[in-house]
Amino acid sequence: MVEIGRITGIWRYPVKSMAGHRVSTAEVGELGVHADRTWAVRDLEKAATTSAKRLAGLLLCTARYVGPPPPEAGPGHAPEVIIEFPDGTEISSSDPQVHAALSSYLDRDVELRPLPPIEDRDQYRGTMATASDIHSYFGLDRDEPLPDLSMFPVKKLAELSRYITPVGSYVDAYPIHVITEQTLQTMAGLAPGSDFDVRRFRPTILVDAVDSGDSPETDWCGGTLIAPDAELRPLLPTVRCVMPSHAQYELARDRQITRTLAAHSRHCLGVYGTVARPGRLREGDPIRFRPADHSLIATTAGAGAARVKRLLMKAGTAAISRGVQFSRR
């Protein structure tokens, strides 16, 4: 194993689609960073959890916990959170007026909802998106092709066609999101007038990689990132929706962000992943890399199955383009 970089940033997002806060250390487990996204805004008309893909104004709000999240924070146990609106006014999740305040700000009938218990699966379901919705999510015109989603496992595509978010979480697809400073620098070089601020892309961790390549994290997919007290497993590139281009807390709207990603990286920036070994991540932690262990026999035996899998993934992508709900960060 070789050292491939160091963690230079860690983020927690108390409320889905609102600005989060940077932390120096974080416990990580099966659901990702402890107490990440324990609240979300629910669209009452659609009877579903919503995000900044539909209500971009959420990105201009900030959220912070009143105190350190307790060990039980998670599904069914959402700690009190303070929401700050763009005009500086604040309101607590414990205030009965929080729903009216959010509805007035967003000009939409909404409620602030805690992360439901895992067994309450119906609360994770939502309404089907239209083809127009999906093109809008990715900032595309109706006649433009959707991004290639065939790298997603069939099981994940099936899950996200049934639920707005994975059961037990308010993340969009996977609990961990890794970005390198090198990738942000590469994209900034392709669009000198744009600010590829890491906060636009809402990662779990930012890594300063030893590799000076254009996008080092994509080479980590399938392997394991090993910190001193936790391990992460990068799985696949993060396909970006239009959200990074929206105006956000302290960041102006910039449509060129989405256009640059579409033109130069097939809409991707960063990688999604899971937690391979629960533990603690710290800013400054060195990261080592262990490649995937594929034997020649396993690779040969799995070749036929892999071809079938790719076909099924493409079928899933086609289904999404016909209107199946698929959620992004």
Looking at residue 305, its pLDDT comes to 40
Question: Each residue of 94-143: pLDDT tens digit?
Answer: 999 999 999 999 999 999 999 999 999 988 887 666 666 666 666 666 67
Looking at residue 253, its pLDDT comes to 96
Looking at residue 161, its pLDDT comes to 75
**Of 202 and 308, the one with more pLDDT:** 202
What are the structural domain ranges in the chain? 2-31+120-294+308-320
User: Can you state the angle between helices 181-190 and 256-264, rounded to 10 degrees?
Assistant: 100
Looking at residue 193, its pLDDT comes to 92
User: What is the separation, in whole angstroms, between the first and last Cα of the chain?
Assistant: 31
Backbone conformation region of residue 323, classed left if phi is above 0, alpha if psi is from -120 to 50, else beta: left
Q: Give the mean model confidence (pLDDT) for residues 295-321.
A: 39
pLDDT band at 214 (very low <50, low <70, confident <90, very high): confident
pLDDT band at 155 (very low <50, low <70, confident <90, very high): confident
pLDDT band at 183 (very low <50, low <70, confident <90, very high): very high
- One-letter identity of residue 215: S
CATH fold, domain 2-31+120-294+308-320, is M1 Pyruvate Kinase; Domain 3 (2.40.33)
Q: Are 295 and 289 in contact (CB under 8 A)?
A: no
Looking at residue 145, its pLDDT comes to 67
Q: Is 281 helix (H, G, I), strand (E, B) or coil?
A: strand
State the virtual CA torsion across 118, 205, 129, 62 in degrees, nearest 10: 90
Looking at residue 129, its pLDDT comes to 61
